[in-house]
Amino acid sequence: MSLKYAAQPISANHYVLPKTGTMHTDAHAFLSEALYAETDEGTWRQLHDAASYEGVIGAYLMPDCHAGYGVPVGSVVVTEDTVIQGGSGYDISCGVLYMRVPELHASDVADPAKRKLWIDEVEKRVATGVGAAAPRLAPKLKGSKKLESVLRYGAKAIGVSADKCERQFIEIPEDTDLDLIEKARNKALPQLASVGGGNHFIEMQVDERSGEVWVMVHCGSRGYGWQTANYFFYEGARVRGIPTAQREKSWLRLDEPLGKQYWAHHNSAANYAVANRHLIVQGIQDSLEKVFKRRGEVYYEISHNLVQEETLLLPDGTTKRGFVHRKGATRAFPAGHPDLDGTAWEETGHPCLIPGSMYHGAAILFAGPGATKSACSVNHGSGRILARGAAKRELSPRQAQIDLEMAEVVRDLGGVAITGIVGNTKRTPLDECAHVYKNLDAVLGVLEAEEIAKVAHRLYPVANLKGTD
């Protein structure tokens, strides 16, 4: 039976997969007709399986979705009393931080040589790449007591205001043994304040309408989060009787010992990731001041690979508490959401920070009246159409052309023609180029059509600093 073709359209951008087989609930997919056509059966099978875990009461696909492991990337799964480890994945609390740079305009960054100088200055201060250790910031945090504070209190431990983050920290029990996973603990301090590899980056962007300059940081919990997730995937598979080759399908009850243990360590990795992103800011600030004589200000920071306990807004207007798993999806609380009470964002909803590709740019959204249809969630990017290995194989003959695309693109940003996207790599990474991602505007268009969220800022890259694998 094809699950894709069992899905029924209920609007131009909303499909429902009726509860079938082992599913505990209907599953909703927010896709245009074109994006629906691009989905494969594997993604729908994973959506079916996501809706089949014990304790699931909601399952959703975002318009940037594609197949992952355990659950699709670009999916949201809501449970009552269970946690699905694949709902955070290996990079627990991967996410985005945005800085705005007041008084810096498109005209100030038009010179590519100046942008390259900024990249060079950032590289002196912030380590990138797999296994890299921060060259300057980590020494300020030496000592087990300071690291312990970061793991327990996240951004609060380093003095960041609660209004600048989705959350300062998630509380973990005082008796949690944070030395349990030796491989994780050994990675924590050396990699704090570093970006990592893969699709993680620091990027200077310009608002297409206003010409304002922004800086985006995209990274997660580094080796600490990966080793934490890996440990509990194996332990979860053992408890559930799942073959280790399928360990990413494991899940846990939150009232069982291993579930409680995982939840505490998952949250410590989330706290680490938030602090990590905010610590990177200092290196960016110093680089902006050195090259442009300006300092930025943190606008907001948010995760998109995370399980959080939050207030659910139900269709009948009532509320209840539940666990929302956003795997490659971003929280989108609208104005008036009870979990925003007392924050700077209670009257507007909080910003949703959406990276795209290093060519097609990014966006800042705010949730709309339709946000409850998607469990108050939006996409986390534009969504891959080519896996990393496939991209390197298939696009290799086009490397020179892709390099020229990056060097010669001309965009009118705030009334200023800016040529090229300057990078820190000799060649454009083929697994991160424009041709491996969906069209971001098509993805965002689904959200706007369904009134799930509205685009407030559309931003385009002018300089990109990416970690190498």
Pairwise CA distance, residues 311 & 313, whole Å:
7
CA proximity to 236, closest of 260, 264, 267, 258: 258
Which pLDDT does position 168 carry in this prediction?
96
- Residues linked to residue 384 through DSSP beta bridges, in sequence order: 437
Domains (ranges, CATH) in the chain?
4-466 (3.90.1860.10)
For residue range 354-392, list pLDDT tens digits in order.
999 999 999 999 999 999 999 999 999 999 999 889 999
Pairwise CA distance, residues 358 & 339, whole Å:
33
pTM, rounded to two decimals: 0.95
The one-digit pLDDT tens for each residue of the chain (469 residues) are 799 999 999 999 999 999 999 999 999 999 999 999 999 999 999 999 999 999 999 999 999 999 998 899 999 999 999 999 999 999 999 999 999 999 999 999 999 999 999 999 999 999 887 666 655 544 455 556 789 999 999 999 999 999 999 999 999 999 999 999 999 999 999 899 999 888 899 999 999 999 999 999 999 999 999 999 999 999 999 999 999 999 999 999 999 999 999 999 999 999 999 999 999 999 999 999 999 999 999 999 999 999 999 999 987 778 999 999 999 999 999 999 999 999 999 999 999 999 999 999 999 999 999 999 999 999 999 999 998 899 999 999 999 999 999 999 999 999 999 999 999 999 999 999 999 999 999 999 999 999 999 999 999 999 999 876 6
50 touches 56 (CB < 8 A): yes
Give phi and psi for 396, each to the nearest 5. Answer: -55, -40
399 touches 430 (CB < 8 A): yes
Cα distances (Å, whole numbers) of residue 83 to 60, 90, 181, 324, 352: 16, 14, 20, 9, 24
Which pLDDT does position 469 carry in this prediction?
61
